[in-house]
Amino acid sequence: MLFTLLLVLSLYEDARLFTRPRENWRAASVAMKRLAAPGTCLMFLPADSLNLYLVFDKTLAAHVCDANSMQQFSRVVLATSPYAKASKMVLPSFREERSSGLRAPSVTLYRRK
Amino acid sequence: MRALILTLAVYAICILLLLPHPSLWLDELLNIVGSTKPTFSSLISYVPQNSGAAPLGYLVQRLSFRLIGVSEFSARLPSVVSSLAAAAGMFALAQHLHLRRPMAAVVLFCLLPMQWRYAIEGRPYAMALALSIWATFFFLQQRMLLYALAATAALYTNPYSFFIPAAQVLWLACHGPRERLTRAFLAAGSAALSFLPWYLYARRAWIASVPNSGHISPIKAAELIARELVGAGYIGTGLVLVLAYMGWTRCRAENPACASFLAACFLVPFPLVLAGDAYFHYFLAARQFLFVLPPLCLLAACGIHAQNNNAVHPAAGPLPL
């Protein structure tokens, strides 16, 4: 009886591993790639999280900009890690246009004001 | 043996079908970043940046990437293979210890959420667990060279796995003949010594990479262990502990050496994990207790038998010493 209960509880928890919300770095990489049109650059919060997205798509590295070089672009896509200390980044002279709807990491498109 | 093959086949099919479905999370990606480093030396210098990490799991994952390309599937495949090897090892252990229901131990081990989680995760915990189980098997079989090799490989996969050989040597010190203790001590000691170069190389980077976690109170530590030991919450931990206790009392009546051996392998790692965390100022995590799952499952399997049959039988055979 106890053993059966334990197995049932274990099976329930095993199944929950597949149903509970998880981080989806691949989806974030795909969303960034889709938004990386000419005139758009990619930024990452924190900056060193870029390596994690490169696991899925190495070409993302070609579109990366930083706080200085972003002024040359009309649009910026910001990917924010769920582990970032700050959840928002101030991009002067840019306004938030839309979010990809992804939870973790989040991907937000900014357009020049 | 037929039941084992059938169980492992079903388990392998389920796990392989489900393998690509959970999306990769941060720690798996950090592992993959290391395993896909362009050169061996860059991999070796990357590994210690993850606190407590050792290189063998990264190297095996790298091999998997070389063989079938970089993907969620290939990142997690070494863990699946390890989990299957661990389940087979559980059967071998249960048979060696003359448990009456070896398959119960195997099924419980496969389904325990804590084991299941690491069986489909692209990190080396399942591999370290499998090596730890086979090291225990070689220890019981008194094949000390294989014991030393398996313990060394486990150490180079996850250093906390060494708390199981430490428990086994301690158990022999209390219960075993001196000659066997000397041999086991030499085998476990040589494993520890062989890990020393990596420890000296990685120690500084480990300490630098430890997240600032602060001190955890004994009550919080006990609460975390009670909630997460087997990955099934307080109820799951409670159920498995009750079964294990019943198994231990039953086992003690039938085969005291077996009972004390399993109890030592289950209990000794707890203070050692806490001491290790305190020394490195590392945060307490349930995965650090992963290596106590095999003795816990074996005791729980004895508990099923005790539950169903209260008569004490003479021991099916003493634990070979």
CB-CB under 8 Å, A1 with B307: yes
pTM for this one? 0.92
Q: CA B168 to CA B257: how far, in whole Å?
A: 12
Which pLDDT belongs to residue B176? 79
CB-CB under 8 Å, B26 with A83: yes
Instruction: Report in angstroms the alpha-carbon separations of B271 from A79, B5, B19, B250, B265.
Output: 41, 36, 34, 26, 12
Unique residue bearing structure tokens 């008194």: B142
Which pLDDT belongs to residue B212? 64
Whether residue A41 is contained in a domain is answered as yes
Query: In terms of C-beta density within 10 A (0-12 exposed, 13-18 middle, 19 or more buried), how is residue B252 classed?
Result: middle
- pLDDT tens per residue, range B43-101: 999 999 998 899 999 999 999 999 999 999 999 999 999 999 999 999 999 999 998 88
Domain residues for the domain of A72 are: 23-112
pLDDT band at A67 (very low <50, low <70, confident <90, very high): confident
B79, B127 contact by CB (below 8 A)? yes
Task: Select, from the ranges A19-28, A100-109, B299-308, the one with the highest average predicted confidence (pLDDT).
Answer: A19-28
- A to B CB pairs, distance under 8 Å: 86
Smallest Cα distance from A71 to chain B, Å: 30
Residues of chain B with pLDDT under 50: 312-318, 321
Smallest Cα distance from A21 to chain B, Å: 9
**Given a cut of 50, is residue A30 above it in pLDDT?**
yes
Smallest Cα distance from B126 to chain A, Å: 16
**Given a cut of 70, is residue A49 above it in pLDDT?**
yes
Give the ipTM of the model, two decimals please.
0.90
User: Residue B248: how many CA atoms within 13 Å on its side-chain side?
Assistant: 17
Chain-centroid distance of CA B4 in Å reads: 20
Whether residue A4 is contained in a domain is answered as no
Q: Tell me which residue of B69, B77, B68, B63 sits closest to B28, measured CA to CA.
A: B77
Cα angle B300-B305-B306, degrees, rounded to a multiple of 5 = 85
Which pLDDT belongs to residue A112? 86
Which pLDDT belongs to residue A68? 82
Cβ–Cβ contact B231 with A under 8 A: yes
Spell out which chain A residues touch chain B, with contact meaning CB-CB distance below 8 angstroms: 1-3, 5-7, 9-11, 13-14, 17-18, 22-27, 51-52, 55, 81-83
Phi, psi angle pair for B14, to nearest 5°? -60, -50
**How many domains are there within chain A?**
1
Q: Return the residue of A nearest to B240 by Cα.
A: A6
Q: Of all helices (H) and strands (E), which one includes residue A106?
A: strand A106-112
B6 bridge partner residues: none
Unique residue bearing structure tokens 């098997």: B137
* Token digits of residue B172: 């022999």
* Token digits of residue A65: 């900009």
